[in-house]
Structure 1
Amino acid sequence: MVIIGGPASQLLAGRVAANLNETLALCDYRTFPDGESYSQIQSELDDDIVIIQSTPTDQDLVYLLQLLDICQGRAVKLVMPYFGYARQDKIFQPGEPMTARAVATALNPFLKEGSVHLVNIHAPSIMIHFHCQAENLDATPLLAERIGGMGLHDPVVISPDKGAMNMARTAAAALSCDCDFLQKTRLSGTEVSMAPQEVAVAGRDVVIFDDMIATGGTMATAITMLRRQGAKRVYLAAVHPVLTGSAVLRLYRSGVEAVLATDTLDKAVSTVSVAPVIARALSEECEHSSEKQKVYIRLVSYYVKCRRNNGSRGRGVGAPFCRQSMTENERPCPSRGCFSPSVLNSDVKTHFLYFLGHPLIMIARVQRSHLSGEVFAPPSKSYTHRAVLIISLGPGGSIKRPLLSADTKATISASQAFGAEIDIHQDVRIKGVADQPKTPEDVINVLNSGTTLRFCSAVAALTDGAVLTGDASIRSRPNGPLLSCLCDLGAQAFSIRNNDKAPLVVRGRMKGGKARLNGGVSSQFLSALLIAAPLAEEDSTIAIEGELKSRPYAEMTMDMLAQAGIRMEAEAQEFIVPGGQSFSLKGYTIPGDFSSASYPMAAAALTGSGVTVKGVLPSRQGDSAIIEILSRMGAEVSWNKEKGELKVMGGELEGVDVDAGRTPDLVPTIAVLGALARGRTTVFNAEHVRHKETDRLHAMAVELSRMGAEIRERPDGLEIDGGKLHGAKVHGYHDHRIVMALAVAGMVAGNTEIDTAESVDVSYPGFFAQMKGLGAEVEII
C-alpha cells in the first residue's frame, strides 16, 4: 500500500502511514505564477493506492483531481477527512447548483474500482452521489475520549441544534452523562435566546459537540449564554475546525474553557487525530477486499534536498523512507540513499510540504579548514526582537542594521498583528500603536521563536486577547512561570493543552499588582513582563524567586526600556514598574551579536587561524563573555571597543570551568572548545539550557560523542575531557546553535555531515557563506 498525502492533509497522512506501517509517497506541489496548481507523485506506485486529502479550498480540490488523474487505472481508496462544499447539499433558489453533488460527480470517474471514506460529513445524504463504496467515519468517540480525561464535574453534552443530536448522543453515551440540544427562542427582530430544552446546566461542566465550526459566531453566543445560565465550565469539541478569520479569538473571548478539534483540518486546536479511525477503516477494507499479502515498511525519518524559486533551500515531504531498522530512541539517519530531487525550474514558485517535525532540507558537509580574513558579526537577534516590539508599542520610529532572520521576522509579524505598520527596507520603519496595541484578528504564529512567543504573550495581555502558537519545538517549551504571572497581574493566560506549552491563550487585560516569578527557567519571562507592565493601569511588582538565569538579557531589556522613557525600580530580586506610562523610543541601531560572533572566533582559536570579527561594539550582551573564555583557554584575543573589532589568533587551548548561568547561548560553542582543548572543561549552572530550541546539553553530549569526544552530561552541565575529534554524520536537531557549533567542530575533525543545516537562518542567515569566505571547506549537499 502506498499512501499519498495531499497538501491539505500531509500531517494526517503521515500519522495514518505510521498507524499502518505503510509507505508515504514523495509528492511535489507547486503554484505557477499565474495561479495554476501542479502536482507530481515522485515515488513508485503499486496497485494499492490511498489518497488522503481534505478540500477546504478550491485549490485543494484541484490538487485532489490531479492526484486522482495520476493514479488512473488503479483501485484508489480516497480518504476525504473534510469534504468541502458539504453545506451546499441542497438547492434553495432557482438557478443554484448542488455543489456537493457536482464535486462527487467530478470524482466518480476516478473511483470506479475504488472507494471513498469521509469523516463526519455535514450532510450524510451526499454519500448517495458517489458511485462506489462510500463510508462515513465517526470521530466523535475520539473527541469524547479526550474530553473524558479532563476531569469534568457532573458533565452534560449539548448539541447546538436538534439536527446534531446524533453526535451529542454518541458523545454522551461515551461519557455516561446527560445530553440535550439548544432551543432557540426569538425575543425580538434582532435578539435570540438559547437554552437547553430540558437539562439544567447550573453548576455543571458543559461540553458542546458539533461537526464543524466556521466563523464561531453561533458557538460564541451559545457559550456566553450557557455561562450566564450558571454553567461551571464550557468546553467545545468539533470534528472539523474550519475556523475562519478570528473565530478562535471569538470563542475564547466568549469564555470557553478549551476548544478541542480533530486534525481533519490542521489548525492550532487540532489536538485529536482521526488517524486511528482512518487506519482501521483502511485495514478492514483491505482484509475484506483483497487476499494480497501486504508489504510493511517501517516509517522512519527522511531527508529531502530541494530548492525554492529564489535559489534558497526549500522544504520537502514524503521522501522515500530509509529501509533499515531503527530503535525508537534513535535519531533520524541521514542516509545518502534518500531522495535528492534535481533543482527545479527557477520560474516556478514551489511549495514543498513538511511532515512529522523533520523538515530536513540541508546537509552541511565540513572538511578540515584553515581560516583567515575578516567577517562582520550579524546584528544581534536579541536587540532586534526588543527594538521591534518596543518601537511598535510607541509612536514609531526606525531600526538601523536590524537582523532580518526567521525569528525576528516572527516578531515583526506579531507586531503587525498588534496594529503596527512596518516597512522593511535596509532599515525597518515602524508606525507604532501609540501605547494602544489592538486585539489581533487571527492566531499569532511565532514559528520557531521562543522570544516572540514569550514577549507577545505579555503584550497580548494588554488587548482583549490572543491565541499564540508555533512549530513543534515551540509547542514543547515551558511557559508556566509567565502564564502564572500574567494571571497574578489580572489577565487570564493558559495553555490549550493544560501543560504550560503552546498553543497559549491570553484574554482579559493585565491591570497590575504583585507577581512572583521563578527565575530559573528563562529571563525572557521577566523581559516580557517588563515590556508589557508600563501599559497596565496600575503599578506592577515582580519578585524573582531563586536565581535569575540569563540576567544580562533582562538588563538589555531594561536599558532599552529606559531609552524608551520607561521608569522602573530594579533591585536584585524585585522589579517595580509604574503603570500608565508611554513608550517613546524612536530609533535604534542594532549592535553585532556576540552569540553569533562566537562561532568564527572559536573556529579561529581551534584551527590555529587568525580572524577579525567586526561590528561587535560594547553592549549588555552576556555572551561577550566569549572573549574572556577564549583568553582563559589560551587564545590570543584583542578587542578594539571603539571600532568594534575583535581579533582572534588560535593556539593550543587549555580546558577551563565555565559558569553558564548568564550565557546559555554560548554552551554549544564552549562544548566544542572543551572537546578539543587539553585537559578538562566543565560547564555548570546550565540547567536552563535544556529549555531552548532543544535540550542543548543532551544534544551536544550525544553528537560530540559521535565524533569521539569524552563528554559526560550532568544535570546542570557538561564535563568534557579534551582530545581529538573524528568526522561523523551528526544531527543538528533543527537548532541553529547546535548546527553552527558542530560546523566549527567539523572544521577541525573533517569529513563531517550535519543535517538540518537550514536552521542557521534563525539567527545567522549568512553563516555558511561567511565561513566559506574565511576559507572554510563547507559544502551544502
Structure 2
Amino acid sequence: MIVRIKGPQPLMGTVRAPGSKAYTHRALVASLLSQGETTIQGASECDDAHRTLEAIRSLGARVQIQNGRIVSSGTEKLASCIDPIDCGESGATLRFLTAIAGTSPTRTTLRASESLAKRPLEPLLKAIETLGASTTISENKNGSEVKVQGPLKGGEAWIPGNISSQFISGLLFAAPLATTDVTIHVNGRLESRPYVEMSLDVLKRHGISIDVEDNDFHIPAPQKYTATSHDVPGDFSSAAFLIAGAGIAGEEITISGLNPGSLEPDAVFLKVINRIGLEVKNVGQTLKVKGSKLEPFVFDAVNNPDLVPPLEVLGCFAKGTSEIRGVKRLRYKETNRLQTIPAELGKMGAKVSLSDDVVKITGGGLVGCELDSKHDHRVAMSCAIASIGASGDSSIRNAEAVSKSYPEFFQDLIRLGVEINVE
C-alpha cells in the first residue's frame, strides 16, 4: 500500500486512542491460565494482539467477543496443539507463549515470520531450559519454528536485562506454574522496567504473588491464577504519533481514552512534550494538545524505546539540537531503527546522527519525498507525521505495516482533517 500526503497540513478534531497493545497481550495470556471467565474491555484490535488471541485459543482458552468486550475462559491444562502456533511478527506473542509452553508436558510448536525470526530469543530459551523445560529452534526460508516442552521444574534462572523486557515478563507469567519455586535474576540494568511492572500488576490482579527485590524476582510455585476483569488503558505509544503531529502542525487536537496516571509506560511522553513546548490540557481521560514553537530537548529512552520514533520527528522541527539517549536496543525492533528512521528522515533533509548510545537531531524542517516503511509499523507512522509537517508531496510505501500496532492510524489522521491518498 502506498500513502500519499501533501504537506504541510494542519491537524484538527477529535479521535479516541486505541487500547494498549502491551496491556492487551498480558491480559490475554493471564486469561488463558485462569480458572473462570476473564473480561477484557477496550482491548487493542491490532494484528499483534490478534496473534495472541488466536494463540490462547489454540492452547485451550474459550474466547468470545461481545460488543468489543473479550470474554476468555481459561484452562487448567494447556491443550495439545497439532499445528504450530503462528506468531506472525508479534514478538510479545512469541516470547510470552514460548515461556508458557515450557510449563506443559506436551510439545508445543511456535512459528515466527522471517522478520520476527531475526529478533532475539536465545536468552529466553536458555532460561527456561535452566528451569527444566526443553527447547529446539530451527530456521527455514519463511522464518523459524520453536519447539518447547515442559514441565517447568523450578529453580534459578539468569537473564540479561538489556535486550528485551519481554523475556522477563514471559518468565513471570510461566513461573507460577512451575513444580517448585522460581527465582529470576536479571543481569545488568533492567531496561523497559515499567513494562515488567505492568506484567506484575496484571499478575497481581489474577491472584499471583511475586516478591521483587531490585533485579531479583522470587515466584512461589505452584500457584493458581484466578479470573478477573480488565479495563485496558489507552495506548500512549500509538497516540504519541498523533500528539507529535499536532505539535508540528500547530493546531489543536483532542484525544480521548488516555489516562496520564495509568500503568502505560509511555505516558511519560506527556512530560517530555511539555518541555518541548506543546500545550497539553488534561481533563479526566481526555487530552487537548496544541502545537507551539518547538524547543530542543533531551530524553532518556532506556525505559521507553517506542517513543524514540515520534521524538526523532519532533526533533526535526525543533529549533536547535535535541538528544535522545539510551537507544541501543532499537536495533532489536522490527527493523534496526537506529538505521531505518534516520535514513528515511534523512531523505527529507533531516540531520540525524548516532554516536554510541545517543541520537542527535538538529532541527530545521523537512522536505517531502518518496519514503518506505521497510515493513516497520513505527517507521511508517514516523514517515506519515514527518510528511504532514514537511514542505511538498510525500509518498510512503508499505504503509499497511501500521496494522501491526495501530490499524486505524491513517483513518484517524483523516478524522483529524489530513488529506491522504491511498493506492
The 1-side partners of 2:340 and 2:2 are apart by 17
- Deviations for 1:369-405, whole angstroms, at most 9, x for unmatched residues? 1111111000111111111110111023221111122
Task: Give the superposition deviation at 1:585.
Answer: 2.9
* Aligned counterpart for 2:399 among listed residues 757, 760, 763: 757
The 2-side partners of 1:527 and 1:714 are apart by 30
Alignment of 1:703-714 (within 5 A): 703-714=344-355
* Aligned counterpart for 1:600 among listed residues 234, 242, 247: 242
Q: Matched residue of 2:113: which SS?
A: coil
Cα distance change of structure 1 residues 715 and 754 upon mapping to structure 2, 3 Å threshold: farther
* Aligned counterpart for 1:406 among listed residues 42, 47, 53: 47
Alignment of 1:8-407 (within 5 A): 362-368=1-7, 369-395=9-35, 396-407=37-48
| Residue identity opposite 1:619 in structure 2 | S
Q: Is the 8 A contact 2:113 2:144 kept in 1?
A: no
- Deviations for 1:615-663, whole angstroms, at most 9, x for unmatched residues? 01222222111101111111111222xx211111101111111111010
More helix by share: 2
Task: Confirm whether residue 693 of structure 1 aligns to residue 310 of structure 2.
Answer: no
Q: Is the 8 A contact 1:551 1:662 kept in 2?
A: yes
Task: Give the superposition deviation at 1:568.
Answer: 0.6
Residue 279 of structure 2 is matched in structure 1 by: 636
Task: Confirm whether residue 775 of structure 1 aligns to residue 417 of structure 2.
Answer: yes
- Deviations for 1:317-354, whole angstroms, at most 9, x for unmatched residues? xxxxxxxxxxxxxxxxxxxxxxxxxxxxxxxxxxxxxx
Task: Give the superposition deviation at 1:497.
Answer: 4.2
TM-score by length of 1: 0.52
The 1-side partners of 2:201 and 2:386 are apart by 35
Residue 492 of structure 1 is matched in structure 2 by: 134
* Aligned counterpart for 1:663 among listed residues 291, 304, 313: 304
The 1-side partners of 2:219 and 2:281 are apart by 39
The 2-side partners of 1:547 and 1:753 are apart by 40
| Residue identity opposite 1:553 in structure 2 | Y
Q: Matched residue of 1:509: which SS?
A: coil
Residue 459 of structure 1 is matched in structure 2 by: 100
Q: Matched residue of 2:114: which SS?
A: coil
Residue 74 of structure 2 is matched in structure 1 by: 432
* Aligned counterpart for 2:189 among listed residues 547, 566, 572: 547
- Deviations for 1:592-633, whole angstroms, at most 9, x for unmatched residues? 100111011110011101011110122222211110111111
The size of the alignment, in residue pairs, is: 415
Instruction: Show structure 1 runs of 5+ residues with no match.
Output: 1-361
Residue 474 of structure 1 is matched in structure 2 by: 116
Q: Is the 8 A contact 1:540 1:578 kept in 2?
A: yes
The 2-side partners of 1:404 and 1:631 are apart by 30
Q: Is the 8 A contact 2:205 2:228 kept in 1?
A: no
Alignment of 1:725-764 (within 5 A): 725-749=366-390, 750-764=392-406
Task: Give the superposition deviation at 1:730.
Answer: 0.9
Alignment of 1:604-615 (within 5 A): 604-615=246-257
- Deviations for 1:140-180, whole angstroms, at most 9, x for unmatched residues? xxxxxxxxxxxxxxxxxxxxxxxxxxxxxxxxxxxxxxxxx
Q: Is the 8 A contact 2:12 2:252 kept in 1?
A: yes
Q: Matched residue of 1:725: which SS?
A: coil
Q: Is the 8 A contact 1:674 1:721 kept in 2?
A: yes
- Deviations for 1:175-230, whole angstroms, at most 9, x for unmatched residues? xxxxxxxxxxxxxxxxxxxxxxxxxxxxxxxxxxxxxxxxxxxxxxxxxxxxxxxx
Q: Is the 8 A contact 1:701 1:718 kept in 2?
A: no
Q: Is the 8 A contact 1:439 1:460 kept in 2?
A: no
Task: Give the superposition deviation at 1:738.
Answer: 1.0
Residue 627 of structure 1 is matched in structure 2 by: 270
The 2-side partners of 1:778 and 1:573 are apart by 47
Q: Is the 8 A contact 2:14 2:254 kept in 1?
A: yes
Instruction: Show structure 2 runs of 5+ residues with no match.
Output: none
| Residue identity opposite 1:654 in structure 2 | E
- Deviations for 1:576-597, whole angstroms, at most 9, x for unmatched residues? 0111101113221111100111
Residue 187 of structure 1 is matched in structure 2 by: none
Q: Is the 8 A contact 1:747 1:777 kept in 2?
A: no
Residue 199 of structure 2 is matched in structure 1 by: 557
* Aligned counterpart for 2:222 among listed residues 580, 585, 603: 580
Task: Confirm whether residue 591 of structure 1 aligns to residue 233 of structure 2.
Answer: yes
Task: Give the superposition deviation at 1:530.
Answer: 0.3
Q: Is the 8 A contact 2:114 2:144 kept in 1?
A: no
Task: Confirm whether residue 646 of structure 1 aligns to residue 298 of structure 2.
Answer: no
Structure with more relative contact order (C-alpha pairs < 8 Å, separation 6 or more): 2
The 2-side partners of 1:647 and 1:424 are apart by 31
Q: Is the 8 A contact 1:417 1:441 kept in 2?
A: no
Task: Give the superposition deviation at 1:732.
Answer: 0.2
Task: Give the superposition deviation at 1:455.
Answer: 0.3
Task: Give the superposition deviation at 1:696.
Answer: 1.2
| Residue identity opposite 1:391 in structure 2 | S
Task: Give the superposition deviation at 1:502.
Answer: 3.6
Q: Is the 8 A contact 1:656 1:682 kept in 2?
A: yes
Task: Give the superposition deviation at 1:462.
Answer: 1.2
More strand by share: 2
Task: Give the superposition deviation at 1:439.
Answer: 2.7
TM-score by length of 2: 0.96
Task: Confirm whether residue 716 of structure 1 aligns to residue 357 of structure 2.
Answer: yes
| Residue identity opposite 2:387 in structure 1 | G
The 2-side partners of 1:660 and 1:585 are apart by 34
Residue 444 of structure 1 is matched in structure 2 by: 85
Task: Give the superposition deviation at 1:698.
Answer: 0.9
The 2-side partners of 1:481 and 1:470 are apart by 16
Task: Confirm whether residue 415 of structure 1 aligns to residue 42 of structure 2.
Answer: no
Q: Is the 8 A contact 1:367 1:748 kept in 2?
A: no
RMSD across aligned positions (CA): 1.4
Q: Matched residue of 1:503: which SS?
A: strand
| Residue identity opposite 2:56 in structure 1 | S
* Greater C-alpha radius of gyration: 1
Q: Is the 8 A contact 2:162 2:191 kept in 1?
A: yes
The 2-side partners of 1:776 and 1:625 are apart by 26
